[in-house]
Structure 1
Amino acid sequence: MENLLSLTSFSLLISFLLLRSPSAVGFPAPAPSNNDSDFIRTSCGTTLYPELCYTSLSRYANAVQSSPAQLAKVAIGVSLSNAKRMAAYVSNLSRHADYGSDHRSAAALHDCFSNFDDAVDQIRDSLSQMKTLGSGQGSVRFQMSNVQTWMSAALTDQETCTDGFQDVPDGTVKSEVVKRSEKVKKVTSNALALVNCVAEKSG
């Protein structure tokens, strides 16, 4: 009986610790609430690619909660990660691809990397600005205007990458680069839409 009581007390203690702080005993944080997820789904409804928006951002519902500015910041961070991976992919491809006599592919890849490299810088600047939002470094409206400008420029650079392949003959390199670029453009477009929502409210 004494062992049974000790085991019960131990179980109650563990349950109490889990309720108090899951991470303190090495367990993952609780799943996001339905309200947080619903906020992200509703917000993503303002974007051009709502399903992609929701699937790429819903995992951050705990951090976002119901904050439009926090959601925009997370979306910019996701856009940055995608753009950095794309820049690295194109850079690696341009070093190892066998173009033969097709100089147009080589030129398109070189320009694409340059465009994505610029986009990474612009998205990184946007994220840095979002992290100082409302901190006194200029008005929120001014800060959001900066973010809008940089994210729009990043999206333009990404579109320029795919435009550069229009005159390139169809092939594996072209199709793969364009396909991956389109995904990154959609993520960036969604982030810009969420930024615009915050900018409208700050105005």
Structure 2
Amino acid sequence: MAAKTSLLFLSLSLLYIASHAGRSPVAASSRATNFIKSKCSATTYPALCFQSLAAFAPSIQQSPRQLAQTALSVSLARAQSAQGFVAKMKKFKGLKKREYEAIKDCIEEMGDSVDRLSKSVQELKRMGQAKGQDFIWHLSNVDTWVSAALTDENTCLDGFAGRALDGKIKSSIRARILNVAQVTSNALSLVNQFASKQ
């Protein structure tokens, strides 16, 4: 019982210290959140941008580079998840031939998208403190790969165009891939914002 009491006392003490001494981290977090909101307002899908990045405010702080890096990482994670989701759909019994082909193509496109986003994340990390031509070269690679990843995602969506494939499989795949494409579009915008400030 004494151990529980001292643990409770310790927890309350820590809460007290955090709430009083920690006024500045709360303010910093609020500044970081406002920073993300303001940067996201210039993207194509501002609400989705903020919703997907707000949780990372403590690590983003007010760094345009960290914001771009996080946006790319979120895009990569969602692309990987969507690729796995589409791969599961391929195992559905009773798929129409066209559905199967569209799913197979989509898995391939999403594989390319994951690969390109992964390269982008690594390239942005590798940039370090690059300046001048070096910086432009690294950023150009990131821009090219993220743009190509977005094209891959849209190509997957195009494979499900037309009414012939209407149904639950099409709508669930489209919803997932559309979300990835929108997050990727936002990431590209944030990368370009970061580049324009250099």
Mapping for residues 188-199 of structure 1, pairs under 5 Å: 188-199=184-195
Decide which structure has greater helix share. 2
TM-score of the superposed pair, with normalisation by structure 1? 0.82
1:39 corresponds in structure 2 to 35
Q: Give the C-alpha shift of residue 16 in structure 1.
A: 9.6
Q: 2:48 aligns with which of 52, 70, 73?
A: 52
Q: Give the C-alpha shift of residue 136 in structure 1.
A: 5.0
Distance 1:197 1:176, change over 3 A: same
Distance 1:131 1:14, change over 3 A: same
1:196 is aligned with what amino acid?
A: N
CA distance in 1, matches of 2:115, 2:169: 25
1:169 aligns with 2:131: no
1:72 corresponds in structure 2 to 68
CA distance in 1, matches of 2:90, 2:137: 39
Distance 1:107 1:76, change over 3 A: same
2:128 corresponds in structure 1 to 134
1:57 is aligned with what amino acid?
A: L
> Residues 145 and 199 of structure 1 are in contact (CA less than 8 Å); yes or no, is this contact kept in structure 2?
no
Distance 1:139 1:87, change over 3 A: same
SS at match of 2:62: coil
Distance 1:48 1:136, change over 3 A: closer
List alignment gaps of at least 5 residues for structure 2.
1-5, 19-24
Give the % identical residues: 39
Moved over 6 A (4+): none
Q: Give the C-alpha shift of residue 98 in structure 1.
A: 2.1
Q: Give the C-alpha shift of residue 70 in structure 1.
A: 0.5
Count of residues in correspondence between the two structures: 183
SS at match of 1:134: coil
TM-score of the superposed pair, with normalisation by structure 2? 0.84
1:114 aligns with 2:114: no
Indicate the larger mover: 89-98 or 153-162. Answer: 89-98
Distance 1:146 1:41, change over 3 A: same
Q: 1:179 aligns with which of 175, 179, 195?
A: 175
List alignment gaps of at least 5 residues for structure 1.
1-6, 20-29
CA distance in 1, matches of 2:165, 2:153: 20
